[in-house]
């Protein structure tokens, strides 16, 4: 599978984010706690989820710096830049939380998915057996964490 290292790093962080988020969601659902109770009872889970999305955001920024734009609009790249700036320059942990900076599901995730889809199209990864094998192995590793 030939892919630029930056692109593979971006795809890997999205896979890792997806796998970790699912594990956290499963733990949350099993806990029968409210969101606040869960965060207070399992603070590392909340931190891990934030760190995964922050990593994805930083990887996206690296792609932009390498001039790999993937059909994103200037506004979308500006949003990524603003998210990254807010995370890097916040003095308080709470100010670095993506839900404080912007809406994760409606602002950041669609942009990250758009980059991912562009990489998939660029390398024709849908239906690529070698890549599917790689993804399955990667996700199985995450399950075993």
Give pLDDT tens digits for 58-113: 999 999 989 999 989 999 998 888 888 877 777 776 666 655 445 677 788 899 99
Q: Which residues of 109-126 are buried (b: 16+ CB within 10 A; e: fewer)?
A: bebbebbbebbeeebebe
Summarised one tens digit per residue, pLDDT across range 11-42 is 999 999 999 988 989 999 999 999 889 989 99
Quick one: what percent of the chain has pLDDT higher than 90?
50
In the chain, alpha helices (H): 5-31, 35-41, 43-65, 74-89, 93-96, 98-101, 109-122, 129-143
pLDDT at 97: 62
pTM above the 0.85 mark? no
In the block, tokens 């900076």 appear at: 101
**What length is written for the chain?**
145
Question: Radius of gyration over alpha carbons of the chain, in Å?
Answer: 16
pLDDT at 117: 95
pLDDT at 71: 85
- The phi, psi pair for 6, rounded to 5°, reads -65, -40
Asked if 114 contacts 71 with a C-beta cutoff of 8 angstroms, the reply is yes
DSSP 70: T
């Amino acid at each position: 599978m030939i892919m630029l290292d930056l692109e593979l790093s971006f795809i890997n962080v999205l896979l890792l984010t997806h796998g970790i988020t699912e594990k956290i969601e499963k733990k949350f659902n099993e806990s029968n706690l409210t969101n606040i109770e869960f965060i207070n009872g399992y603070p590392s889970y909340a931190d891990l989820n934030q760190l995964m999305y922050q990593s994805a955001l930083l990887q996206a920024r690296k792609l932009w710096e390498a001039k790999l734009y993937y059909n994103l609009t200037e506004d979308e790249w500006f949003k990524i830049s603003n998210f990254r700036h807010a995370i890097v320059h916040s003095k308080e942990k709470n100010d670095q939380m993506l839900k404080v900076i912007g809406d994760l599901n409606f602002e950041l995730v669609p942009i990250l998915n758009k980059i991912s889809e562009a990489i998939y199209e660029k390398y024709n990864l849908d239906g690529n057996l070698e890549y599917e094998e790689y993804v399955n192995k990667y996700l199985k590793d995450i399950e075993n964490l």
